[in-house]
Structure 1
Amino acid sequence: MALRAAGRQSLVDTVVDQLRAQVAAGEWKVGERIPTEHALAEQLQVGRNTVREAVRVLVHAGMLRSRQGEGTFVVSMADPAEIMRGVRRAGIRDVLELRIALEAEAARLAALRHEPADLERMRAALDAQEALEDTEGQPGSGDLELYADHDIEFHKAVVDAAHNSALSATYSWFSSSVREALLTALDDREMPRVLHGDHHALMTAIASGDPDAAAHACRLLLERPKQAVESLLSES
């Protein structure tokens, strides 16, 4: 299938978008070599330098890989950067639902695989977060970002305690969206405040070695803000 000719505005971006779409559509399978720069330039009616720069962008994104003397090959049909942009555009409810899916399984595995250092890391994050709270259990207005960072650190510690490198990598990639959603919630007085009792219950369940209890505690912790968001959405 020939690629449609690129326009004359933002040529590199246009070629990047078209190549990304072709790879995602399976024009070239994973492991297959894409056409040469010369062939792509002719198909797209652009210069070889434009094609070279566009390919370089997709190599950096992790969709393509260049091999010296062999050509450029497809390594992934999905652009992680594009996926991340989609996640960033997601609403708080969507982020919370994805968190529940990832973290509940992480908590279940953590109950089975955690080490003492994992629990110490969770405890340190909770202690640091609680130190920023006032007598009413609310963080100071100037401490919201640091407060959110400690909360994210706790949840990262839970995920890392599963000792699953793929899960940790996925959550680390996702955590920037989690942080943005958390900051939005912390700044909204209609959202429930962070309940440390729920966090401690999750840590205790993990420490007990009971995977079902850990998964349940994690779901309970995250269901509270999700229900609040759903309530707000139903009123709007």
Structure 2
Amino acid sequence: MSFDRTPIVQQITMYLRDKIESGEWRVGEKISSENTLTQELKVSRHSLRMAIQSLASQGIVESIHGKGTFVLTNQLSLLTSSRNAITSEDFLDVRKVLEFRLAIEPITCFLAAGRIGGDILAMLDESYHEMQANIGNSEEFVKHDLMFHLEIAKASQNHLLLGALSEVFDKTLRNLELLNVLYGYSDGLYFHKKILKALKEKNAVQARSIMEEHIQKAINSLIQ
């Protein structure tokens, strides 16, 4: 089965809901695996995860790390109006946040590489290790992810860049947590490790390039 591209996450969500409402996936049962669903629907893993998170936010399913996703209820009509549901507007907002970050974070990283001190490098090391320690815990992982990026902005010694990034993070925390669900843990750790290495080497060009690649890959994931 394949879908039109717009809006792909909503279409996947409706497909999953139909499976539950029809009784094909019963309450308490585990739904098909990510590998099975991505092959069956011909969609990316990122888009599938966003759709599953949409159902989880409505209390329809529960994802258990290392075990899979389980159906909690088939009474979907009672949950349709949930104010916590992830909407197409949320999905669009994630992209807007990433586009903003793409505009300012590579240059922030470039400036930081030439101005960073040992104290901030130590903070970046700590944030990176805390991210590693919180794989599977999205809330804590995102908190330390944000600290990593804010410390880089602080190292740029440009209060306007730091202020702008801090404000965006404060106002869009929910979307950043959704982005973690979409993007996963491994890619984030991969890029953060490379960024940290470039900053330690004070290689401004490489630091900027890796940051740009990191954020652009997340944007690309949204449209796959």
Query: How does the TM-score come out when normalised to structure 2?
Result: 0.56
SS in 1 for 2:223: helix
Counterpart residue identity of residue 147, structure 2: E
Unaligned runs of 5+ in 1: 1-87, 134-138, 232-236
Unaligned runs of 5+ in 2: 1-89
Aligned to 2:55: none
Aligned to 1:148: 142
Counterpart residue identity of residue 157, structure 1: E
Tell me whether 1:208 sits opposite 2:209 in the alignment: no
Alignment deviations for residues 68-127 of structure 1 (CA, whole Å, 9 cap, x no partner): xxxxxxxxxxxxxxxxxxxx9961111111111111111000011111111111110111
Rounded to whole Å, the distance in 2 between the matches of 1:121 and 1:89 is 31
Q: CA deviation at 1:167?
A: 1.2
Rounded to whole Å, the distance in 1 between the matches of 2:172 and 2:204 is 24
Aligned to 2:222: 229
Distance 1:148 1:173, change over 3 A: same
Counterpart residue identity of residue 204, structure 1: K
Alignment deviations for residues 147-202 of structure 1 (CA, whole Å, 9 cap, x no partner): 110111111111111011111111111112453222112334xx443421210111
Counterpart residue identity of residue 110, structure 1: A
Q: Percent identity?
A: 19
Distance 1:178 1:208, change over 3 A: farther
Rounded to whole Å, the distance in 2 between the matches of 1:217 and 1:99 is 13
Aligned to 2:126: 124
SS in 2 for 1:92: helix
- Contact 1:95–1:177 under 8 Å retained in 2: no
User: With CA pairs under 8 Å and 6+ residues apart, which has the higher RCO, 1 or 2?
Assistant: 2
RMSD across aligned positions (CA): 2.1
SS in 2 for 1:209: coil
Rounded to whole Å, the distance in 2 between the matches of 1:173 and 1:121 is 21
- Contact 1:100–1:219 under 8 Å retained in 2: yes
Rounded to whole Å, the distance in 2 between the matches of 1:192 and 1:229 is 12
Rounded to whole Å, the distance in 2 between the matches of 1:101 and 1:216 is 13
Query: How does the TM-score come out when normalised to structure 1?
Result: 0.53
